[in-house]
Amino acid sequence: MGWPGSYWVSVCHVILLSTGVTLALTSQEGGTVLHEVLAGRQVYVYRSYKDVQIFHFSVPPHVSVAHFNFTANDTLACDARNITAFLQAQSYPVVNPDGAEFPSGMWINRSHVYEVHLRSDLKPALLSVPFPVAGDWFMVAFINDTSNRITQAGLFPSCHSWLQSEVEYRQEDQITTVVPEIHSHQEIQLYQKVEGSEYYRFYVPSSTWLVVVNISKCVVLDDGEGSPSCPIDVGFRTRALPDLNSTDTVVHNCADDGAVCTLEVVPEEEAWHYIQLSTHQAAVQLSMAVKFYMCDEPGGSSYHLLSRLYLNQLCSEGSSIQNLPLMSNDTANEVNSTIESEENADNMESRRILFMPSVKRKRNLQDGCWPRHNLVKKTFGGNFVFEFDLPPDENGSVPLLLNITNDSPTLLTFNLEPIIDIGGTLSVELAVSPFMNITLHNFTVDACVSRGKRKEPNLDADAEFKCPRGHGLHVNTSSLSAAATSVLIPFPEPGPWYLTLRSGCYLSNAR
């Protein structure tokens, strides 16, 4: 079974981004407050997408809320006009304010788009974005002018409108970083005290296909009658603090589990991930472990645990703790510390520590280590078009067809760079080879196009649900028209993209 690799991206036009100033202040309520100010830029009457003015914001990490403040003004002796702005994370918003229809076969509505309306009368328009994703945010703005009036030049003043933007970012400071183990012989049990809400983060390396979060040893310190055994809500999100109202946040209630509360999620490779532990009880003490399942590491897994704790909450099987490898909050230098008694342990300050968990799980690596092909980017000279090809063979030639199996999914990956790769349209084309023998069997391929996280096509679901939070493609050898398909992705987001293929076959005379 074959697949001709054909990816291409065309850049429509050169984008000029607005410049601004960022200031940092300390909030009396705790945390850091950052301000970003973009200088005023002229906005134009919308006739087509080329008339929009583009604004660029740089959202810092760990932001709990971003407050946008927009104001607009006109030249003197001009009436105030209506201005519309669309704001989106990572790439340019795909909008059609004139009501034009998008072409068929185009994948839009991939991200949430915020819409703002204001007038050019210096009255502010406010927008609050909770828990925004860190990185590049883009806004397009234009003047709404539905008038078709034609005026003679020179009889009326020439009116121009400018739009200014200011953003206040409230950044969380109390975030515990999860660090990898350094001593496999350690058998240490960690307890965390959760009051209200606590945040944690960890970095997922490449080739990680599963993250498992384990919550155990859960104890309600002020145990009232009727309290759940583990009244903890776990929130998990990639590249941003968890938002319980966001569709990209995974939420799990540990009160429904037994002695060990387990959350399994597919991560985004080479990205920061965040965990929020929250409780409505006065205080809950628990142990948390995070485990990676990887394809490139011997044994296929790697343990991570918390990096900050109070040493009087660190317990071993004995009555004392000896020769613990510690890491200070300010440095990453490993030191040795010997605690002679529990009394000395009570006086220790919060430190960073590297350790491994006591919870161990086994999993078949074949469940997630699929055949993987990292596509190679090829740029053409003289234009803004590039494509992704299959990796070259040992003799240096680039194969046109890819053999896949129905034993497991096959994964194709490629990466788009921020700013420079997002200004056009990504075309993903899928086809089966016309040279296959279909005398006895017809062949089918289901594919799932996704960004950030790989998605496996669900062969048992209806077409609409075969690829949740992605875009599904389907081809088969029953006819020439069904043997090829494609999808257009305007202004694709940067980062890793995946095309997951799943093949099957059936009798040619089956109905």
The pLDDT tens digits of the residues spanning 30-73 come to 579 999 999 999 999 999 899 999 999 999 999 999 999 999 99
Amino acid of residue 266: V
Q: Name which of 286, 104, 48 is nearest 190 in CA terms.
A: 286
Helix (H/G/I), strand (E/B), else coil: 465:
helix
Beta-carbon contacts of residue 506 (< 8 Å; ≥ 6 apart): 441, 442, 444
The phi and psi torsions of 431 (rounded to 5 degrees) equal -150, 155
Q: To 5 degrees, how large is the angle CA 165–CA 171–CA 176?
A: 155
d(CA 398, CA 180): 38
How many residues are listed for the chain in this entry? 511
pLDDT at position 381, please?
76
Backbone dihedral region for residue 342 (phi beyond 0: left; psi -120 to 50: alpha; all else: beta): alpha
Is it true that 31-171 and 175-307+354-363 share their CATH fold?
A: yes
Give just the sign of the alpha carbon dihedral 329, 332, 335, 341. positive
CB atoms within 10 A of CB 37: 14
- Cβ atoms of 467 and 450 within 8 Å: the answer is yes
pLDDT at position 275, please?
95
For 295-312, write each residue's pLDDT tens digit.
Answer: 865 445 555 555 444 444
d(CA 266, CA 246): 17
- Each of the 511 residues of the chain gets a pLDDT tens digit; together they read 444 333 333 333 333 344 455 555 555 555 799 999 999 999 999 998 999 999 999 999 999 999 999 999 998 878 899 999 999 999 999 999 988 889 889 999 999 999 999 999 999 999 999 999 999 999 999 999 866 555 555 556 678 999 999 999 999 999 998 765 434 444 444 578 898 899 999 999 888 899 999 898 888 887 666 567 889 999 999 999 999 888 889 999 998 888 899 999 999 999 999 999 999 887 899 988 888 888 865 445 555 555 444 444 444 333 333 333 333 333 333 333 333 333 343 443 333 333 333 333 445 555 678 999 999 998 887 677 889 999 988 888 888 889 888 888 999 999 999 999 999 999 999 999 888 888 888 899 999 999 999 998 887 777 667 888 899 999 999 888 899 999 999 999 999 999 999 998 887 765 5
**Residue 278 in tokens:** 């929250």
Q: Name which of 315, 322, 308, 320 is nearest 353 in CA terms.
A: 308
CB atoms within 10 A of CB 400: 13
CB atoms within 10 A of CB 250: 18
Three-state SS string over 114-131 comes to EEEEEECCCCCEEEEEEC
Amino acid of residue 102: F
State the residue for tokens 């328009």. Answer: 125
What are the residue boundaries of the structural domains of the chain, listed by start?
31-171, 175-307+354-363, 370-507
What are 10's strand-pairing partners? 385, 425
Longest dimension (CA), the chain: 92
What are 416's strand-pairing partners? 495
d(CA 164, CA 111): 24
- Topology (CATH) of 175-307+354-363: Jelly Rolls (2.60.120)
d(CA 170, CA 64): 6
Query: Would the pTM of this model clear 0.75, i.e. be above it?
Result: yes
- Cβ atoms of 60 and 34 within 8 Å: the answer is yes
Class of domain 31-171: mainly beta
Q: How far apart are the first and last CA of the chain?
A: 22
Q: Name which of 493, 484, 492, 445 is nearest 6 in CA terms.
A: 484
What are 88's strand-pairing partners? 138
Report which DSSP code applies to 49: G
pLDDT at position 327, please?
33
- Residue 424 vs residues 10, 73, 147, 153, 249: alpha-carbon distances, Å: 5, 31, 31, 36, 29
pLDDT at position 192, please?
82
Q: Name which of 424, 406, 438, 374 is nearest 504 in CA terms.
A: 406
**Residue 127 in tokens:** 């927008």
